Structure 1
């Protein structure tokens, strides 16, 4: 229980550090994170989900942030049905240990279908 409280407090502090120029940063982030339409067939479905969720708070396409770069995830895992299912479960339930000590919080507000779209999108980034 104490560890969960510490993780929640640390997450809240990290989230609150975004401050001031958030509007400008989001525009820049969106511009740098959007691969060409032909590069990823899941982009049209994934970007609205990413926009309504907090994915970009910890993840970027090409850079390691709080979480791993999505392209690094795509390099580590082949784009197979089994890996899509595994990654979708991680998105929904959260987890830790695969990319360092910082845990990824679960996203239970997303549907299983949305998590699958996100997993396909990430794994298609080559």
Structure 2
């Protein structure tokens, strides 16, 4: 690995760690990267029912590294859905909680140790529902 690639990798990891810790400091209502309150209905989303997994994802720090249909720091949710099946829900939920690296490259995914397995499973089930 060249020095430039190592430097870029270090910068990306640093940015993702900084953005995650900054969000926690700015949002005292959040605990362990999980939203404690349901988002309130607005005029734009009134009458629309979002999947619970999506609501949980939007309330956590997931979208700072993942997008639905394109790679950001981590893989897109559609890439994840296309790689895994419903049989992998428990394994993926544990990965969300424990964090890790290696499945999608060397950039590690932040651990979410305060997240319940049930919450992580709901998020994963939503992600897997995006399979094309």
Normalised by the length of structure 2, the TM-score is: 0.63
Alignment of 1:38-117 (within 5 A): 44-80=51-87, 83-117=88-122
> What is the SS of the residue equivalent to 1:105?
coil
Structure 2: any 5+ residue segments left out of the alignment?
Answer: 1-9, 21-47
Q: After the TM superposition, list the runs of 4 or more consecutive aligned residues in structure 1 that deviate by more than 6 angstroms.
A: none
> What is the SS of the residue equivalent to 2:121?
helix
Instruction: Measure the CA separation in 1 of the matches of 2:51 and 2:126.
Output: 10
Normalised by the length of structure 1, the TM-score is: 0.66
Deviation, 1:51, is: 2.2
Which structure shows the bigger proportion of residues in helix conformation? 1
Deviation, 1:47, is: 2.3
